Amino acid sequence: MNTQAVVERFLTAFYTGQRDEIRKSVLPDFTMEGPFAAAHNVDELIELSEPLFQVVRGVRFRQWVVEGDNAAPLYDIRFESPAGNGWMTMGGWFSVAGERVASGHVLYDSATQHRILSGR
């Protein structure tokens, strides 16, 4: 499996709340950082992401930059909540070791997330 496929497998599992598949797609010492939280292993990532799993309903990929074991995707995630629905564009960079993700960093516009989830 190539670097892009490994990261795509992880992000698809993550943004559809497939916890078992998330665990299979990352290394035991996986780390992930974002604007408001950091996870230092997969259990912490899943625990911190439980509220997100309640409102995110998928991912669509726009563009990839892949160099060796590193991938930088630009992608959209779908929010569906009682207050509002919509797509939010995100970016990130991920490192892969073998056929699993070793680390990830994500960036997004929190104002867009707030607008969608608040229905404004």
> Both tokens of residue 93?
């960079």
| Model pLDDT, residue 16 | 94
| Model pLDDT, residue 74 | 97
Half-sphere exposure for 40 (CA within 13 Å, toward CB): 0
Please check the confidence at residue 57 and state whether its pLDDT lies above 80: yes
Looking up residue 13, the CATH number of its domain turns out to be 3.10.450.50
Question: Structure pTM?
Answer: 0.91
Average pLDDT, the chain: 92
- Residue of 85, 87, 66, 84 lying closest to 76 (CA atoms): 87
Q: Which amino acid is at 93?
A: W
Residue 7 domain boundaries: 3-118
Please check the confidence at residue 28 and state whether its pLDDT lies above 80: yes
> Both tokens of residue 38?
């950091």
Task: Give me the sign of the Cα torsion angle 49, 14, 94, 85.
Answer: negative
In the chain, how many domains are there?
A: 1
| Model pLDDT, residue 120 | 67
Question: pLDDT by residue (tens digit) across 104-113?
Answer: 999 988 787 7
